[in-house]
Structure 1
Amino acid sequence: MSAPAPAVPQLTLRAIILSMLLAMILAAANAYLGLFAGLTIATAIPAAVVSMGVLRVLGGGSILENNIVQTGASAGSSIAAGVIFTIPALVILGYWQDFKYSWVLAIAGLGGLLGVLFSVPLRRSMIVEEPLAFPEGKAAAEVLKAGENPGPGIKILALAGAIGSLLKLAAASGLRVIPDSAVGATFFGRYFAFMATNLSPALLGVGYIVGLNVGIVIVSGSIFSWNIAIPIYHAFFLDSDPALAAKIAGQHAEDVGYAIWSAKIRYLGVGTMLIGGIWTLFSLRRSLMSGIKSGLAAARKGAGTAVAETERDLPMKWMLIALVLFILPLAALYQAIVHNWMVSIPMTIIMIVTGFLFVSVSGYLAGLVGSSNNPVSGITIATILFASVVLLILLGGQSPIGAVAAIMIGAVVCCAAAVGGDNLQDLKAGYIVGATPWKQQLMIGIGAFSCALVMAPVLNLLAAAYGIGAPTAEHPNALSAPQAVLMASVAKGLFGGHLPWTMIGIGCVIGALVIALDEFLKARGASFRVPVLGAAIGIYLPLELMVPIFIGGLIAHLVERKHKLKAGDKERRDRIHRPGTLFSAGLITGEALTGIIIAIPIVVSGHADVLALPETFQFGQIVGLVVLAVVAWLLYLSAAKAPA
């Protein structure tokens, strides 16, 4: 690969400003999506399309300048994931009443910058010497290379964004023309039956992006929880749990199902995630060590020698200085929580060690399955459990601050891991198009810090409008924040609370069985795989969220069948899926941004139904299902018409 001519602009002022604006907008959108659905999606591709359109209006931009914009803007998804998976747990635990701006900025901003620094030594190993797939990085590179005519892509994004926005406005948090979900639940004697689907177009888009394999795995996990585990518990074990039995006595079947899931069954997912995280670390041990060694060796070799522009990373000397500068305020933050340097210093050490380790894991997983499928929440659970064990020794089992301290460690590591995986994804795109690595690394650091600036106001707005966590009388349709609720439950349970350890143990066994099945499929060379952390997410999250994701993955599969794609034809697959990916990104972005806009009049008025139309204009589940089917058909058409 030849280096680009020195005159080709990359890190220009307009690229930096545009990247920062897109990063903040996409971070807000992903914050809503993550609190609502427990998932975020990579934003590099829509950012690249918007960048090409804007820079074209401003006189045109080079492929490398557009690459810089998408690099910084892609931090919107990673910072949002790092924040919403962990920081709401501090409100759920009652430690905060709202989201403190300076604290959120410090955790997200410094955690994101640490993710950039920790991922730099891994670039050579994971991208150059052991080239992993990095599917979204390759897709972004293809979009950039096709950037001579960005018009059609922008039109697809705009149309899908308008659809997602309109349907979000029509849903239960807006005009209430259609409900948020369609649910059916009933009893057959002692046995419980349940089926549900959310009516969100954004979830269809998420499913299209992650594909059928992941869609099957996660919906299977949810079916196991809701159609096997909950009925079994209700029929045979509820009598041995009088407190829960009294709580659900006389309730509707739907409420009974959610109560059993919340109190017991979702912890099967916790156990599965735990064993899956341990397995992931074990299976990647050799790759991680070789990546770290080769990255450091390359940095030493490059000192004092001429390095091609396409191989220049951030200088190791300045990285070490920056590492110290970023760690010191985090140590002070931990000290402000525990007021004991004998505890805050070990907290800082845990954060550094687990941060570097899990950035490596996150980067490798992003290379295998992409940033959208990167199980950062599983990584964070492992961090919180490890931190909790150490803090239990230092603080004692009944410490009132122990759970908060563990969440604070996990929050920084989660932000670092999310940004680290995203950074390597962007560096893959840059490697393909001939960009300068250090400029991308600097840009994603700027993008990450820009996102951190807006996260606290966005979270406060969403919390005031919708509520976060368990539904209340004031907020009956609260954003569920599933990962943050899980983090809070695990941390609190280890410090004097109560966790259903039997369920967690059974979940560990389920995780081991899933791993064994996946290894069997791997040994047979099967194209279908069963990633254990994907199954864990399905077990943990509500079934209604998984069904539209599965449908979106099924649409992607039908598109591949129409074009008769073969398993190894990756370049053609990326080209064919590009319109569908853009349509999906538009649905997600339009719905998420409208959810934030709707929150403003709700907060100002103090009424959740401020936009609701009279009941005459409110329709039921059937109309909602028809609307979702129409959107699914439009998504299929957008991709099926792609040139073969």
Structure 2
Amino acid sequence: MNAVTASPAQLSLRAVLLSIVLAVILAAANTYLGLFAGMTIASAIPAAVVSMAVLRLFGGGSILENNIVQTGASAGSSIASGVIFTIPALIILGYWTEFRYSWVLAIAGLGGLLGVLFSVPLRRSLIVDQGLAFPEGKAAAEVLKTGENPAAGVKVLGLAALFGGFGKLAAASGLRLIPDTAAAAAWWGKGIAYFGTNLSPALFGVGYIVGLNVGIVVLLGSIIGWNVAIPIYSAFFLENDAALSASIAQGCTEAGMVSAECAAGAIWSAQVRYMGVGAMLIGGIWTLFSLRNSLFSGVKSGLGATRKQAAGAVPVQVPHTERDVPMKYILIGLVLFTLPLLALYQAIVGQWSASIPMTVIMIVAGFLFVSVSAYMAGLVGSSNNPVSGITISTILFAALVLVLLLGKESSIGAVAAIMIGAVVCCAACIGGDNLQDLKAGHIVGATPWKQQVMLAIGAVSSAMVMAPVLNLLLEAYGIGARTPEHPNSLLAPQANLMASVAKGIFGGELPWTTIGIGAAIGAVIIAVDSWLKASGRTFRIPVLACAIGIYLPIELMVPIFLGGLLSHIVERRMGGAKNEEEHGRIHRMGLLFSAGLITGEALMGIFIAVPIVATGRADVLALPDSMHFGGWLGLILLAVIAWLLYRTATRKAAM
């Protein structure tokens, strides 16, 4: 192709501004969701629908303008994932008491920019030459092509957001009409029987999006932790754990009786959740091993594309649909963005003999894992991308190297390892996202370099709001372990895991026996999943999903399972769809409703935090006790939302 084709308008001012606004909103919403439930959602499709509706109000928008908007907006969820998986570990480790704006901006912004640069050479190899699927990118492109009536989609998003927001406002951190959880627990001899469900509409929406398979697996993990491990520990080991027994006797006694629910929570916090740590560790190592061929393929593709660009093998005169950011600008950007990170690492460790190797590890691991993330996003999609396993491996390797450089008793070693992992995690999240967006652009005829620039703008814009949002959530709800001051603290499961791994390497005290048991459970899960794969079964048991279930309270996993079950019911209804277009519409409308539930609840959680922080009172919005209802009202609300989601996903009116 030697002829130069003109590039239609894409990076218009209105598209860039709308993209930035959506990126910031989605970054804030996914920050809350990720700290709360350990999961974030892909946001390209909701952003595309909103873009089509908003730009239509301003005289219409081309498909390429809408594609630019969803490209930049999707950076919000990616940056949020990279940040909340790692940076809260600095609070958990006690290194920070608040999130430092300049440092969070540097880690998230520069990590995101490096992710964009590392992924640019991969586009031609993975999208054009190998033609990988990139399912979310393909789905976003189909929405862009068929979204002739986006107003209906925005209506669904808005309605669902209202229900999601009301569910959060009515709960324990808001009006207190309903509790956060409907649970029941009882002593069974010396054992504890416990079951409960969170009443969060957002978690129900997450379950609908991830589907029944993942819903079953995460609930299975929680059953292992809460209905197997806790009863066993309570019945056979608790009386030999003097410290934990004393803590339960002191903190869980009500009217002369030890609360079974409180005792179960204490055992989970002190012991059982570390089984999840062991399962995630073995899962992260297994993920890298099982992806070794994909890893080499992704890195080989990246290096090959880089050599071709550098050698000028790609013609200068090409259509706008094949123009990437030039290699010389990529190399300049790598130098410019790496130097501030070197200075940051030096400020942490105070010795060049450690900060320079830290930077080298960050660059090598960054390129390596951006390639892996991009390749896996092409195979199984961003939602199933094992970024947490990648990050665990990075932190584990970095910590082992830093032990040699700083010593096992270093007070700063764990923090330094987290700092390396945070940049790599942000880069890997953005890398997979970039390729999804570029796949959508490839289908609709967009200009790659303009998408790459827009993603960089979206990444930096999102990074600019991360620290204020995190500080607001930290002060209002707490992050990490639940305390009397913050009984409903946001658990930040991945960040807790990263902190545990780094602290354990540098002389920290961890229940290694429990971690070892979790690793053994993870190995069994891997073996069963390998058998399912070899048998050609469609049902799979991804070890990292099961590990998250073990690590988190069971009440968070139940609504995810229920949402996945509803998604399965809708899928069965899809079997009666007249054609592929109707099938896609059914899926799209359910997805939009679920995304609205998540966004509405997450944004309401942030809005509620403002008066809590301003007054210093957690009950500032609470209604009188006479208006506090039990969990039954929350269950009714969740049932109504489930019914609305089903009706929305299956109704005949086309979007």
The TM-score normalised by the length of structure 2 is 0.94
Give the Cα–Cα distance (whole angstroms) in 2 for the partners of residues 408 and 253 of structure 1.
Answer: 39
Give the Cα–Cα distance (whole angstroms) in 2 for the partners of residues 366 and 455 of structure 1.
Answer: 24
Give the Cα–Cα distance (whole angstroms) in 2 for the partners of residues 512 and 481 of structure 1.
Answer: 24
Give the Cα–Cα distance (whole angstroms) in 2 for the partners of residues 533 and 72 of structure 1.
Answer: 29
Asked if the contact 2:282/2:523 (under 8 Å) is kept, the reply is yes
Give the Cα–Cα distance (whole angstroms) in 1 for the partners of residues 552 and 376 of structure 2.
Answer: 21
Note the 1:506-545 alignment, pairs <5 A. Answer: 506-545=517-556
What does residue 396 of structure 1 align with?
A: 407
What does residue 281 of structure 2 align with?
A: 274
What does residue 256 of structure 1 align with?
A: 263
SS of residue matched to 1:619: coil
Q: Deviations over 1:454-491 (max 9, x none)?
A: 11111111112112122233322222222222222222
SS of residue matched to 1:623: helix
Give the Cα–Cα distance (whole angstroms) in 1 for the partners of residues 545 and 246 of structure 2.
Answer: 34
With over 3 angstroms needed to count, the CA separation of the structure-2 counterparts of 1:445 and 1:300, relative to structure 1, is same
Note the 1:506-585 alignment, pairs <5 A. Answer: 506-564=517-575, 573-585=583-595
Give the Cα–Cα distance (whole angstroms) in 2 for the partners of residues 499 and 603 of structure 1.
Answer: 33
Give the Cα–Cα distance (whole angstroms) in 1 for the partners of residues 287 and 581 of structure 2.
Answer: 28
SS of residue matched to 1:267: helix
What does residue 185 of structure 1 align with?
A: 185
Asked if the contact 2:35/2:492 (under 8 Å) is kept, the reply is yes
- How far the C-alpha of 1:240 sits from its partner, in A, is 3.4
SS of residue matched to 1:607: coil
- How far the C-alpha of 1:95 sits from its partner, in A, is 1.2
Asked if the contact 1:41/1:371 (under 8 Å) is kept, the reply is no
SS of residue matched to 2:175: coil
Give the Cα–Cα distance (whole angstroms) in 2 for the partners of residues 292 and 559 of structure 1.
Answer: 39
Asked if the contact 2:287/2:389 (under 8 Å) is kept, the reply is no
Give the Cα–Cα distance (whole angstroms) in 1 for the partners of residues 3 and 552 of structure 2.
Answer: 46
SS of residue matched to 1:364: helix
Give the Cα–Cα distance (whole angstroms) in 2 for the partners of residues 114 and 56 of structure 1.
Answer: 34
- How far the C-alpha of 1:247 sits from its partner, in A, is 1.9
Give the Cα–Cα distance (whole angstroms) in 2 for the partners of residues 484 and 3 of structure 1.
Answer: 50
Give the Cα–Cα distance (whole angstroms) in 2 for the partners of residues 561 and 513 of structure 1.
Answer: 31
- Worse overlay, 387-396 or 475-484: 475-484
Equivalent residue for 1:457, pick from 454, 465, 468: 468
What does residue 630 of structure 1 align with?
A: 640
Give the Cα–Cα distance (whole angstroms) in 2 for the partners of residues 401 and 571 of structure 1.
Answer: 56
Asked if the contact 1:493/1:499 (under 8 Å) is kept, the reply is yes
What does residue 615 of structure 2 align with?
A: 605
With over 3 angstroms needed to count, the CA separation of the structure-2 counterparts of 1:125 and 1:160, relative to structure 1, is same
Asked if the contact 1:207/1:549 (under 8 Å) is kept, the reply is yes
Give the Cα–Cα distance (whole angstroms) in 2 for the partners of residues 516 and 573 of structure 1.
Answer: 35
What does residue 223 of structure 1 align with?
A: 223
What does residue 130 of structure 1 align with?
A: 130
With over 3 angstroms needed to count, the CA separation of the structure-2 counterparts of 1:196 and 1:367, relative to structure 1, is farther
What does residue 30 of structure 1 align with?
A: 30
What does residue 466 of structure 1 align with?
A: 477
- How far the C-alpha of 1:299 sits from its partner, in A, is 4.3
What does residue 205 of structure 1 align with?
A: 205
What does residue 175 of structure 1 align with?
A: 175
Give the Cα–Cα distance (whole angstroms) in 1 for the partners of residues 576 and 384 of structure 2.
Answer: 22
SS of residue matched to 1:194: strand
What does residue 332 of structure 2 align with?
A: 321
- How far the C-alpha of 1:574 sits from its partner, in A, is 3.5
What does residue 194 of structure 1 align with?
A: 194
What does residue 59 of structure 2 align with?
A: 59
1:498 matches 2:512: no
> AA paired with 2:241?
D
- How far the C-alpha of 1:246 sits from its partner, in A, is 2.2
SS of residue matched to 2:458: helix
With over 3 angstroms needed to count, the CA separation of the structure-2 counterparts of 1:539 and 1:126, relative to structure 1, is farther
- How far the C-alpha of 1:375 sits from its partner, in A, is 3.4
Give the Cα–Cα distance (whole angstroms) in 2 for the partners of residues 253 and 377 of structure 1.
Answer: 33
Give the Cα–Cα distance (whole angstroms) in 2 for the partners of residues 188 and 510 of structure 1.
Answer: 25
Give the Cα–Cα distance (whole angstroms) in 2 for the partners of residues 631 and 146 of structure 1.
Answer: 27
Equivalent residue for 1:297, pick from 304, 307, 315: 304
Asked if the contact 1:222/1:546 (under 8 Å) is kept, the reply is yes
Give the Cα–Cα distance (whole angstroms) in 2 for the partners of residues 234 and 130 of structure 1.
Answer: 54
- Worse overlay, 110-119 or 243-252: 243-252
- How far the C-alpha of 1:227 sits from its partner, in A, is 0.7
SS of residue matched to 2:382: coil
Asked if the contact 2:7/2:447 (under 8 Å) is kept, the reply is no
What does residue 147 of structure 1 align with?
A: 147
Give the Cα–Cα distance (whole angstroms) in 2 for the partners of residues 111 and 222 of structure 1.
Answer: 33
Q: Deviations over 1:272-291 (max 9, x none)?
A: 21222222222222223223
What does residue 355 of structure 2 align with?
A: 344
Equivalent residue for 1:420, pick from 399, 424, 431: 431
- Worse overlay, 517-526 or 68-77: 517-526
- How far the C-alpha of 1:125 sits from its partner, in A, is 3.3
Give the Cα–Cα distance (whole angstroms) in 1 for the partners of residues 81 and 619 of structure 2.
Answer: 29
Give the Cα–Cα distance (whole angstroms) in 1 for the partners of residues 2 and 169 of structure 2.
Answer: 49
Give the Cα–Cα distance (whole angstroms) in 2 for the partners of residues 629 and 283 of structure 1.
Answer: 40
> AA paired with 2:351?
N
What does residue 381 of structure 2 align with?
A: 370
With over 3 angstroms needed to count, the CA separation of the structure-2 counterparts of 1:301 and 1:356, relative to structure 1, is closer
Give the Cα–Cα distance (whole angstroms) in 2 for the partners of residues 164 and 4 of structure 1.
Answer: 49
SS of residue matched to 1:581: helix
Q: Deviations over 1:22-69 (max 9, x none)?
A: 101111111111111111111111111111111101111111110010
1:353 matches 2:373: no
> AA paired with 2:389?
G
Give the Cα–Cα distance (whole angstroms) in 2 for the partners of residues 138 and 2 of structure 1.
Answer: 27
- How far the C-alpha of 1:541 sits from its partner, in A, is 1.6
Asked if the contact 2:299/2:372 (under 8 Å) is kept, the reply is no
1:616 matches 2:623: no
Asked if the contact 1:121/1:292 (under 8 Å) is kept, the reply is no
SS of residue matched to 1:480: coil
- How far the C-alpha of 1:546 sits from its partner, in A, is 0.8
With over 3 angstroms needed to count, the CA separation of the structure-2 counterparts of 1:215 and 1:573, relative to structure 1, is farther
Equivalent residue for 1:587, pick from 588, 594, 597: 597
With over 3 angstroms needed to count, the CA separation of the structure-2 counterparts of 1:642 and 1:236, relative to structure 1, is farther
Asked if the contact 1:10/1:64 (under 8 Å) is kept, the reply is yes
Give the Cα–Cα distance (whole angstroms) in 2 for the partners of residues 278 and 2 of structure 1.
Answer: 46
Give the Cα–Cα distance (whole angstroms) in 1 for the partners of residues 224 and 204 of structure 2.
Answer: 21
Give the Cα–Cα distance (whole angstroms) in 1 for the partners of residues 469 and 270 of structure 2.
Answer: 29
- How far the C-alpha of 1:239 sits from its partner, in A, is 3.2
What does residue 83 of structure 1 align with?
A: 83
With over 3 angstroms needed to count, the CA separation of the structure-2 counterparts of 1:494 and 1:300, relative to structure 1, is closer
- How far the C-alpha of 1:295 sits from its partner, in A, is 3.6
What does residue 11 of structure 1 align with?
A: 11
> AA paired with 1:293?
K
- How far the C-alpha of 1:5 sits from its partner, in A, is 6.2
With over 3 angstroms needed to count, the CA separation of the structure-2 counterparts of 1:278 and 1:308, relative to structure 1, is farther
Give the Cα–Cα distance (whole angstroms) in 2 for the partners of residues 162 and 368 of structure 1.
Answer: 35
With over 3 angstroms needed to count, the CA separation of the structure-2 counterparts of 1:132 and 1:220, relative to structure 1, is farther
> AA paired with 1:279?
W
